[in-house]
Amino acid sequence: MTNSSSLLQNDNSLDIETLGPAKIDSPLLGKIGADKENIAWEAFTSDSQRILQDASLASVERYGHEQQVPASFEQAGARRKIYFDPSKARAAILTAGGLCPGLNDVIRSLVMTLYYRYRVQNIQGIRYGYQGLIPNYGHALIELNPATVSEIHQFGGTILGSSRGNQPIDEVVDSLERLNMNILFCIGGDGTLKGALAVSEEIRKRGLKISVIGIPKTIDNDISLVSRSFGFETAVAVATEVIRSAHTEALGAPWGVGLVKLMGRDSGFIAATAALARGDANFVLIPEIDFDVDGPGALLDRLYKRLASRGHAVIVVAEGAGQKFFAQEPAEKDASGNILHKDIGAFLTDRVRKYFREKAQDLNLKYIDPSYIIRSAPANSTDQVFCSFLGQKAAHAAMAGKTNCLIGQWNDHFVHVPIAMAIKERKKVDPMGELWNSVLERTGQPTLTAARKF
């Protein structure tokens, strides 16, 4: 991943907003760990507990000599004193953006923690993302309680539905006021979190006491200052099986090629990690690494030599790779303002087939795009556990009056991250980092730029 230290400074940029002093004893007191109060006290997390951004010894020495405190995150967890009175609190949950394994698991965890741990009785599901808070769409709320969410973790997708597109922020906050909501949980990626930030700012302008907590959802694992996002483990697991199938198809025919397109709009974490896990890929193409198609040493030349010597090959490409080949085509955007990348998978399929036709060489190419199968899959057990923790930590943050922050994981700890910092830039695969170098070692992939002779 990229080095995010440029985002972090020894100032208050990582401080977490609160709605006000937390004065109410948490209903969890005496229920965490054991019934003795002194043991329960130790199980709570204090605002002063911090997680270093850079956990290396070098960072400690660097700051230590200067008598400064290294950049650090506020640790997530239950607080002994909370801000909202559970008997009167009203919470809302929405999911927005594309589907991702684990959405229902996060919803379930939020509801179970709020209902059983804090005794919050009024929890509403907002239908179809921010659309559900705009009256003109007419989407009804869904009452959420343990009965309505008891089985949802067994299914992919989201019971709340999802949508893309910007909605009028003033109307969103108007609806929250009309509904007397105290807490809004926003589960989504970059666009959803930008919306949550705008909602938080409008709430602050109006002087309202509404907590806005984000739970980062990006199957591409590309949110900055979040070491891992939910659904990524499941996506890699399914993608690994797809690569295995592509390898089997390639082996089953002379001059066989399996071409797999995986998700990764701007970051190639799924393609790189799945290729590393499976070991069957020979060429891995991601947005962060330049490559050429034509010329000596470029992809087609290398592919031909691979097939001539071994008889089969597997190519794994992230959806955002190779967009330079479409530079002359007009750019399009989706409803959320994201650039719609051109189909690199179809492009490569056509170019490979054309190249081998010109060489009068038979070719057996199988093109596989499992994107919608992966995003709609139920979460695997690893992601299910992770989603449960995310929902619990988000509920704790909201009840303590935290706002304008998201729940992330850093250095194996759950932390509070200011939304503005997390959306400042996208996390990307480091071309000089351990992940990409491991992929190169695993695949034996050479440089694929025509400028370099071999």
DSSP string covering 223-238, please? BTT-S--TTHHHHHHH
453 has a pLDDT exceeding 60: no
**pLDDT given at position 32:** 55
- pLDDT tens, residue by residue, 300-309: 999 999 999 9
Phi first, then psi, for residue 284 (nearest 5°) are -125, 120
Q: What are phi and psi of 387, to 5 degrees?
A: -65, -35
Chain centre distance of CA 432: 22
| pLDDT tens per residue, range 134-153 | 999 999 999 999 999 999 99
Looking at residue 8, what is its pLDDT? 46
Residue pair 91/74 in contact by the 8 Å Cβ criterion? no
Report whether pLDDT(270) > 50: yes
358 CB contacts (<8 Å, ≥6 apart)? none
Local structure of residue 452 (DSSP, 8 states):
S
54, 105, 190, 220: the catalytic one is 220
H helix or E strand, kind and range, residue 75: strand 72-75
Q: Which two tokens stand for residue 385?
A: 């556990």
User: Looking at this protein, which amino acid is placed at residue 189?
Assistant: G
Looking at residues 287-297, what average pLDDT do you find? 96
Angle at 16 between CA 15 and CA 22, to 5 degrees: 125
In this predicted structure, the answer to whether residue 59 has a pLDDT above a threshold of 90 is no
What is the rounded CA–CA span in Å between residue 433 and residue 119?
Answer: 46
Q: Is the pLDDT of residue 108 over 60?
A: yes
d(CA 98, CA 187): 11
Between helices 344-358 and 299-310, what is the axis angle to 10°?
Answer: 60
Q: Any idea where the domains of the chain sit in the sequence?
A: 4-229+380-422, 232-376+432-443
- 3-state secondary structure at position 155: coil
Residue 454 pLDDT more than 70? Answer: no
pLDDT of residue 237: 96
Residue 392 to residues 74, 135, 388, 452, Cα–Cα distance (Å)? 16, 30, 6, 51
Q: How confident is the model at residue 63 (pLDDT cuts 50, 70, 90)?
A: low
Cα 396 to Cα 303: distance, rounded to the nearest angstrom: 53
pLDDT computed for residue 64 by the predictor: 53
- pLDDT computed for residue 330 by the predictor: 80
Mean pLDDT of all residues belonging to the chain: 90
Q: Give the separation between CA 454 and CA 443, rounded to whole angstroms.
A: 18
Report the pLDDT averaged over residues 199-209.
97
Q: Is the pLDDT of residue 98 over 50?
A: yes
Of all residues in the chain, what percent carry a pLDDT higher than 90? 80
Q: Bigger pLDDT: 345 or 11?
A: 345
pLDDT for position 153: 95
169-178 vs 190-206: helix crossing angle, rounded to 10: 60
pLDDT at 94: 98
Mean pLDDT of 358-383: 96
CA distance 309 to 302: 11
Q: For 243-247, what is the mean pLDDT?
A: 97
**The three-state (H, E, C) secondary structure of 394-440, written as one string:** HHHHHHCCEECEEEEEECCEEEEEEHHHHCCCECCCCCCCHHHHHHH
DSSP β-bridge partners for residue 288: none
Q: What would the mean pLDDT of 34-61 be, rounded to a whole number?
A: 67
**347 φ, ψ to 5°?**
-60, -50
Mean pLDDT of 264-283: 95
pLDDT of 451 above 90: no
Give the confidence band of 106 by pLDDT, cuts at 50, 70, 90: very high
Lowest-confidence pick of 7-11, 190-194, 266-270:
7-11
Amino acid at 451: A
Beta carbons within 10 angstroms of residue 179's beta carbon? 16
Helix (H) or strand (E) holding 82: strand 81-82
- The CATH code belonging to domain 232-376+432-443 is 3.40.50.460
Where are the strands (E) in 249-384, listed by range?
Answer: 256-262, 283-285, 312-318, 332-333, 339-340, 364-368
Structure-token match 């009203």, residue found = 90
pLDDT at 343: 94
Res 423: pLDDT: 93
pLDDT digits 0-9 by tens, 436-450: 999 999 999 999 998
Conformational region of residue 172, where left means phi above 0, alpha means psi within -120 to 50, and beta covers everything else: alpha
Q: What CATH number belongs to 4-229+380-422?
A: 3.40.50.450
Say what the pLDDT of residue 269 is.
97
Closest residue by Cα to residue 208 from 199, 217, 220: 199
Residue-wise pLDDT tens digits, 183-200? 999 999 999 999 999 999
119 or 14, greater pLDDT: 119
- Annotated active-site residue 220? The verdict is yes
Give the residue among 417, 400, 422, 395 at the shortest CA–CA distance from 19: 400
Secondary structure of 33-49 in HEC code, one letter for each residue: CCCCHHHHHHHCCCCCC
Q: What integer pLDDT is reported at residue 339 of this predicted model?
A: 73
Q: Which amino acid type is present at position 123? A: I
Same fold, 4-229+380-422 and 232-376+432-443: yes
Q: Are 249 and 282 in contact (CB under 8 A)?
A: no
Decide: helix, strand or coil at residue 153: helix
